[in-house]
Amino acid sequence: MKHAEIILTPEQQSMRREELRADILRPLQKISFLGKLWIAFLVVIILIGGYAYIQQLKHGLIVTGLRDYATWGIYISNFVFFVAISLVGALISSVLRLTNFTWYRPLTRIAEIIAVAGVVWAGLIIIIDMGRPDRILNLFLHPRIQSPILWDVVVISTYLTTSVLLLYLPLLPGIAICRDRLTDKPKWQRWMYKFLALGWTGTPDQWKIMKKSITILCVVIIPLAISIHTVTSWLFATTLRPGWDSTNFGPYFVAGAFLAGTGCVIIGMYVFRKVYSLEKYLTDAHFGYMAKLLVFLAFVYAYFNINEYFIPYYKMRGPEARLLTDLFSGQFAGLYWSAQILGMALPAVLLMFKSMRKPLPVTLIAIPVVVFAWVKRYLIVTPILLHPYLPIQNAPASWMNYFPSWIEIEIVAASLAGVLLIITLFSRFFPIISIWETLENEGIELDELDELNNTKNEKA
């Protein structure tokens, strides 16, 4: 739905352009004390995590809470979580781009940077989980194509490349504006803008190539985004373990990823709107749309959850029955029901009320959606490993249960901080709202932008 067709005079148009550029470049001008504190905080968490990882490298995975039965724990749940949040960024923005849902345009970049940050850290955390990260090259020296891990390596790296491109290409005009406007920045930063702008001047040809490439990327990224999450679900579904041995796993994971990712985008929108005073661009209407989307996705996810848990529960087949009992009423019941109710059912119900679809309540509701999305990933990984076919006997108490060690917690915290740091730094150096897409959305012609740049360049 396009904005009302008000024809603006050229003067009005150029005024609006100026205003928009100023608004969006403002956060890049100066970092407040709080902003710096936030970055410092993230860096400290990452450093602690780095120290923890050095300990793990030195002593082996013994420093984790993992043992022979629960051999995968919060590293892997975290990996699945990151893959989940990275799916939505690119997928939603490409689908909405292709289908001309223009209201979404100011959100695309937020969604895309979440995607890139998520997938970068998904790749890192999986290396952290490896017993022998020093042998990572074996994946290329002795690859075995029938292993889902290899499929994951292929899809994740392709997806990373594509989503970086999808972030970067539409950013070119923005970088060019930074290059031309932010002339008081340190030399390296100006150099970076100059380098990254790839000589963008905004000629009609450049616009044409860029838009065409974006369309191609948008098409390519849809199957890719779906596959990274499906392949990740196959890491579990290709085994014979009760609880993972499910044909429902692919769509179940994809549906969950949509929900988690949408929650992340909502939180991101709220924070950027507040911190960078972008109320004019990330409007209440946007929160309203996203809230409706969240309701819809929660229902889709609930549908897959019913298939995943309640149909087996109806049958109560031997080994699966033990797992389900443990999830529904045993040691994992607290987490399980919180995840299902606070992370899915309640948000859907609450957001059906119009009064809840305001920025603050939507965001407050999105927070448990994201938090319990993480918990849900944990519930998908570890309880299943603790309910094998053969009973666990004659093993140390620490093998029969899993509780993450401090090292694991620190490393996972560092990875979460890492995602936030990528997003924060990106938004400190680049416009977090796509200027030209917002302008286009408002029916303002783009060519003018180039003229401005061209004249500037000529002067230079």
Partner 1 sequence: MEKEDDKSDRRKFLKLGALAGGVVLLGSAIGKAVSLDSTKETGEKVKVLTADGKLMEVDGCNMKHPAAVKLTNQEMRKGIEGKKFVMVIDLAKCANARKCVEGCQKMHHKQAPTEWIKVKRMQDAESLTPYWMPQPCFHCDNPPCTKVCPVDATFKREDGLVMIDNERCIGCRFCMAACPYNSRSFNWSEPIIPQGMEAAEYSIEKSFPAKIGTVEKCDFCPDMAREGKLPDCVTACPNGTIFYGDQNEDTVTNGDQTFRLKELLTNRSGYRYLEELGTEPRVYYLPPVNRDFPFENDTIVHNTEDYKII
Q: Which residues bind partner 1 (CB under 8 A)?
A: 59-63, 66-69, 71-72, 129-133, 135-136, 138-139, 141-144, 146-150, 153, 235-236, 238-241, 385, 388-399
Shorter beta-carbon distance to partner 1: residue 74 or 175: 74
CB of 402 to partner 1, least distance (A): 13
CB of 421 to partner 1, least distance (A): 27
CB proximity list for 27: less than 8 A, separation 6 or greater: 275, 276, 427, 428, 432
Separation CA 16–CA 62 (nearest Å)? 60
CB of 388 to partner 1, least distance (A): 5
Shorter beta-carbon distance to partner 1: residue 73 or 263: 73
Separation CA 455–CA 460 (nearest Å)? 9
Q: At what angle do helices 172-181 and 187-196 cross, to 10 degrees?
A: 150
CB of 71 to partner 1, least distance (A): 4
CB of 334 to partner 1, least distance (A): 25
Shorter beta-carbon distance to partner 1: residue 259 or 379: 379
Asked whether the beta carbons of 85 and 118 are under 8 A apart, the reply is yes
Shorter beta-carbon distance to partner 1: residue 58 or 354: 58
Separation CA 74–CA 410 (nearest Å)? 11
Shorter beta-carbon distance to partner 1: residue 334 or 396: 396
Lookup: tokens for 99? 């289908």
Q: At what angle do helices 359-385 and 284-305 cross, to 10 degrees?
A: 30
CB of 377 to partner 1, least distance (A): 15
Shorter beta-carbon distance to partner 1: residue 68 or 445: 68
Shorter beta-carbon distance to partner 1: residue 57 or 333: 57
CB of 390 to partner 1, least distance (A): 6
Asked whether the beta carbons of 362 and 292 are under 8 A apart, the reply is no
Shorter beta-carbon distance to partner 1: residue 4 or 141: 141
The one-letter amino acid code at 62 reads I
Separation CA 182–CA 190 (nearest Å)? 8
Nearest to 126 by CA among 146, 147, 165, 156: 156
Nearest to 347 by CA among 330, 333, 364, 332: 364
Asked whether the beta carbons of 232 and 250 are under 8 A apart, the reply is no
CB of 103 to partner 1, least distance (A): 43
Asked whether the beta carbons of 182 and 193 are under 8 A apart, the reply is yes
